[in-house]
């Protein structure tokens, strides 16, 4: 592989799509060598040399393919039988089904997969053609040559090679220790808040006031430094998720007959490990959407005066306390007419409604909306973009889209650096204090009650031409009934649009340590967690997406 790449660098060879497929197979071989020393290296090396010499696919022993659909696949993905049918299109396949896990009628769950399959595939089929069918399925399948030996139980231990002075020294830290350290930081933040409750006006002596003030300032500096240090410990580079995207793009190009140049920058940008772990699936889906829907086929691009190969750019950068990820293609852009027509056909938009380009772009995040003419393994079911937005918002972030016809589309993700500590708006509802996540707040207003009018089963508020539902939080959360004319309204953004929340009083904005209700008590609809305030009292954190449905809060 190095010899071939050296010839490419020297200009004696031109990189081709076929050569890329062979090199990827070599990467797979290297991974297997790391896992086990028992790989038949001589035979695989001969096969790679022959393939690189003629840039053709190697006919090897039959493939052994196993597939046990992971839990949840039926809810978000295609029928496994359609995936298996794609195997038959590759060539001769012997397929057997394992029915040993079939449930009884009493234990049957419609969306739980109970079957698994094993297939023998013709050895002439290229590995990447099989992987292209199942690349997006997260686990549950494997592809090996039938003659491949299983990895040994224990690989031989080798002495570590002394690193040079310029090498970065690293240490592996168990996640549970990091979580414990993060909890300690949370307690320190709470202590700082408690000391902040000291009223200097009630102190007995001026020197004591100065001492308390000095101590508070020092505690604030130490808390901030410790918090930033722990966040760095928990942080991981985005290269962990960016690294899987080139293979995904290559497999999609093989499947769709397209050519795409992938440009990735900002891989060193770091995020909290929890965010990085949950970011993989949304990013893969956005990339698949750009390659499938955005970038045109080579012939269509040439006819439009564009290069035959499309460009897909992925970049990330930090701005303030947020990380931004941009996914941009130079394809055809959004077909606004088709999107609006499909939305009207599905009853998602009124037939006479006139929408701006920005509003039409937001329609692609609605469930069940797809403009694909036929259903394939890549797209066509209208399942995906709505889930992407839900996943991003569950991480405390937002996703935006901009598109220019015939020029391309850009998705912008804004994500918080950490989920353990958040910025919140403290409000009073009745006698209790609640926290509303600051990121979801659009504005706070003193309502003009003449603009209140019926909106379905609830009240609505006419604000700048838009009728938004109003949730009376004092009545819903504290069972307070009566005149709410003295309430303020906090307008928040949710998955289903904007909502006006009535509160009795706006208090301070502050950082809060998020404590899990699910781990310490149980799941409570409408609540995202809890926190401890400076006076030692517990305050509940409201879940913006659940606030849209007032009936859920009533429960």
Q: What is the CATH number of the domain that holds 456?
A: 2.30.30.40
53 or 62: which carries more pLDDT confidence?
62
Whether residue 154 has pLDDT greater than 90: no
Instruction: Give the pLDDT score at 94.
Output: 87
Residue pLDDT, tens place only, 364-375? 888 767 665 554
368 & 440 share domain = no
Instruction: Give the pLDDT score at 84.
Output: 82
pTM: predicted TM-score of the whole model, two decimal places? 0.54
On whether residue 8 sits in a domain, the answer given is yes
266 & 398 share domain = yes
Question: SS3 string of 75-138?
Answer: HHCCCHHHHHHHHHCCCCEEEEEECCCCCCCCCCCCCCCCCEEEEEECCCCCHHHHHHHHCCCC
The Cα 484–Cα 462 span in angstroms is: 17
Query: Where a domain ends, among 386, 416, 446?
Result: 416
Whether residue 551 has pLDDT greater than 50: no
Residue pLDDT, tens place only, 359-418? 888 888 887 676 655 545 555 444 578 888 888 887 878 888 999 988 999 999 988 877
531 or 518: which carries more pLDDT confidence?
531
Residue pLDDT, tens place only, 87-125? 887 777 888 998 888 888 878 887 788 888 898 887 767
For residues 168-174, give the mean pLDDT: 60
On whether residue 450 sits in a domain, the answer given is yes
On whether residue 156 sits in a domain, the answer given is no
Helices and strands, number each (H, E), in the chain: 19, 22
429 or 354: which carries more pLDDT confidence?
429
Q: What is the CATH number of the domain that holds 145?
A: 3.30.70
Question: SS3 string of 472-496?
Answer: EHHHHHHCCCCCCCCCEEEEEEECC
291 or 373: which carries more pLDDT confidence?
291
Instruction: Give the pLDDT score at 40.
Output: 75
Whether residue 169 has pLDDT greater than 60: no
Residue with tokens 């001969």: 46
On whether residue 154 sits in a domain, the answer given is no
214 & 144 share domain = no
Instruction: Give the pLDDT score at 366.
Output: 80
Return the minimum-mean-pLDDT range out of 52-61, 140-149, 189-198. 52-61
Query: Where a domain ends, among 236, 251, 277?
Result: 236
DSSP string, 269-324: -EEEHHHHHHHHHHHHHHHHHIIIIISPPHHHHHHTT--SSEEEEEEEEEETTEEE
Instruction: Give the pLDDT score at 376.
Output: 52
For residues 174-178, give the mean pLDDT: 71
User: What average pLDDT does the chain have?
Assistant: 78
On whether residue 113 sits in a domain, the answer given is yes
254 & 375 share domain = yes
50 & 75 share domain = no
171 or 342: which carries more pLDDT confidence?
342
Per-residue tokens: 279: 């970011």
For residues 242-248, give the mean pLDDT: 88
On whether residue 282 sits in a domain, the answer given is yes
Whether residue 421 has pLDDT greater than 60: yes
114 & 204 share domain = no
303 & 361 share domain = yes
On whether residue 169 sits in a domain, the answer given is no
- Residue pair 201/181 in contact (Cβ under 8 Å)? The answer is no
The Cα 489–Cα 482 span in angstroms is: 16
Instruction: Give the pLDDT score at 204.
Output: 55
On whether residue 138 sits in a domain, the answer given is yes
Instruction: Give the pLDDT score at 409.
Output: 93
Parallel/antiparallel/unpaired status of strands 538-542 and 432-437: parallel
Whether residue 165 has pLDDT greater than 50: no
Whether residue 177 has pLDDT greater than 90: no
425 & 474 share domain = yes
Parallel/antiparallel/unpaired status of strands 452-455 and 421-429: unpaired
Domain residue limits at 40: 1-58
183 & 278 share domain = no
Instruction: Give the pLDDT score at 357.
Output: 84
Domains of the chain: total: 5
482 or 28: which carries more pLDDT confidence?
28
Residue with tokens 């409750």: 197
108 & 13 share domain = no
Instruction: Give the pLDDT score at 76.
Output: 63
Query: Where a domain ends, among 397, 416, 435?
Result: 416
């Amino acid at each position: 592989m190095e010899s071939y790449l050296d010839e490419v660098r020297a200009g004696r060879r031109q990189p081709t799509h076929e050569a890329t497929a062979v090199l990827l197979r070599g990467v797979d071989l290297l991974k297997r060598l790391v896992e086990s020393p028992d790989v038949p290296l001589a035979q695989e090396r001969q096969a790679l040399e022959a393939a690189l010499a003629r840039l053709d696919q190697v006919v090897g022993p039959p493939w052994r393919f196993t597939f046990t659909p992971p839990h949840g696949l039926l809810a978000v993905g295609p029928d496994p039988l359609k995936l298996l049918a794609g195997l038959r299109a590759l060539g001769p396949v012997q397929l057997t089904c394992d029915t040993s896990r079939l449930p009884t009628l009493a234990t049957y769950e419609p969306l739980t997969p109970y079957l698994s399959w094993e297939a023998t595939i013709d050895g002439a089929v290229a590995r990447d053609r099989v992987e292209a069918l199942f690349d997006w399925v997260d686990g549950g399948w494997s592809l090996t040559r039938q003659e491949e030996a299983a990895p040994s139980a224990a690989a031989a231990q080798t002495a570590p090679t002394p690193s040079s002075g310029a090498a970065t020294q690293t240490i592996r830290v168990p996640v549970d220790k990091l979580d414990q350290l993060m909890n300690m930081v949370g307690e320190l933040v709470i202590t700082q808040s408690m000391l902040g409750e000291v009223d200097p006006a009630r102190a007995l002596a001026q020197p004591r006031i100065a001492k308390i003030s000095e101590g508070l300032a020092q505690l604030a500096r130490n808390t901030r430094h410790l918090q930033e240090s722990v966040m760095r410990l928990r942080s991981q580079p985005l290269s962990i998720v960016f690294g899987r995207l080139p293979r995904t793009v290559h497999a999609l190009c093989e499947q769709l007959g397209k050519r795409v140049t992938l440009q990735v920058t900002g891989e060193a940008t770091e995020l909290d490990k929890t965010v990085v772990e949950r970011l993989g699936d949304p990013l893969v889906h956005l990339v698949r959407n750009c390659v499938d829907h955005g970038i045109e086929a080579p012939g269509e691009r040439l006819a439009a005066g564009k290069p035959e190969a499309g460009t897909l750019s992925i970049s990330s950068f930090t701005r303030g306390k947020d990380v931004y990820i941009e996914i941009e293609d130079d394809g055809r852009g959004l077909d606004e007419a088709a999107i609006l027509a499909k939305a009207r056909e599905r009853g998602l938009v009124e037939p006479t409604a006139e929408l701006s380009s920005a509003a039409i772009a937001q329609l692609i995040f609605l469930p069940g909306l797809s403009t694909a003419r036929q259903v394939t393994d890549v797209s066509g079911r209208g399942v995906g973009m709505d889930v992407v937005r839900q996943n991003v918002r569950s991480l405390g972030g937002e996703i935006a889209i901009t598109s220019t016809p015939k020029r391309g589309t850009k998705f912008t993700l804004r994500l918080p650096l950490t989920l353990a500590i958040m910025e919140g708006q403290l409000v009073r509802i009745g006698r209790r204090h609640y926290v509303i996540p600051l990121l979801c707040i659009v504005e706070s207003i003193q309502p003009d009650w003449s603009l209140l009018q019926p909106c379905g089963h609830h009240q609505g508020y006419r604000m700048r031409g838009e009728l938004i539902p109003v949730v009376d939080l004092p009545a819903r959360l504290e069972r307070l009934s009566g005149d709410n004319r003295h309430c303020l309204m906090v307008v928040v953004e949710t998955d289903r649009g904007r909502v006006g929340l009535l509160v009795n009083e706006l208090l301070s904005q502050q950082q809060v340590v998020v404590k899990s209700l699910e781990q310490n008590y149980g799941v409570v609809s409408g609540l995202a967690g809890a926190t401890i305030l400076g006076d030692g009292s517990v305050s509940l954190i409201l879940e913006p997406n659940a606030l849209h449905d007032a009936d859920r809060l009533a429960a």
